[in-house]
Amino acid sequence: MEVQILLAVIAVAVSLAALTVSTLVSLRQLRSMQTANHVPFAIEMLTRDFGHREFQRLERLTLDQLPQHDPNGGVSGLPEPLQSQCRQVINFYDSIGIMVCDGAIREELVLATINYRLRRIWNIAGPFIRAEREHHRKGPFLDFLEHITARAHDTDPSEIAHRLGLHKMPTDTSTATPQETRDTENP
């Protein structure tokens, strides 16, 4: 009788372990599928907007022209076409923040690549965004941009690059072949 009880307990324990493992694997696959659905959107956004010459021009105009205006009117108080240009740039970075918070893009990759750009945009546009919240929105406005910028401010991109295992080119061997570089590094 005791052997039967012991076998039943073992069978239940094995079943519970199998159920737990199956559940964990299923949850991981579900999350992987959700992330995979975001990847094409993230790639499209990054290649269509961020790497495009027109976006670069709008970002430069925004950074150059915003300081010439009073931030108290918020983003809505900017004259056209500056208002539209500014909105396109800050909405792009807000979208990056949304994708990071949703897990569609790894935060460390964003912070390692556009850390400086996030902080630079916020330093110029932040006062306009805050004024927009206070005077016009009375609620959330570009909160994901602020979040990802705060994370960029708190993060050293070189530490992330080190954690990711990114390699650096030697400064004095820029014309050396790979074999010559290996020979000088390993005498």
- Smallest CA-to-CA distance from 52 within 24, 28, 88, 21 is with 88
Cα–Cα distance list, 60 to 6, 55, 77, 85, 172 (Å): 73, 9, 20, 10, 33
Identity at 52, one-letter amino acid code:
H
Question: What is the rounded CA–CA span in Å between residue 179 and residue 127?
Answer: 52
Across the range 78-98, mean pLDDT stands at: 94
pLDDT digits (tens, 9 = 90+) for 25-55: 887 877 666 656 556 666 666 666 777 888 8
Sign, CA dihedral 166-172-175-181, equals negative
What per-residue confidence (pLDDT) applies to 60?
A: 95
In this prediction, residue 13 has a pLDDT band, given cuts at 50, 70 and 90, of confident
What per-residue confidence (pLDDT) applies to 63?
A: 95
What per-residue confidence (pLDDT) applies to 184?
A: 52
What per-residue confidence (pLDDT) applies to 87?
A: 95
Does residue 81 have a cis bond before it (omega within 30 degrees)? yes
Across the range 77-105, mean pLDDT stands at: 92
- Smallest CA-to-CA distance from 152 within 121, 114, 179 is with 114
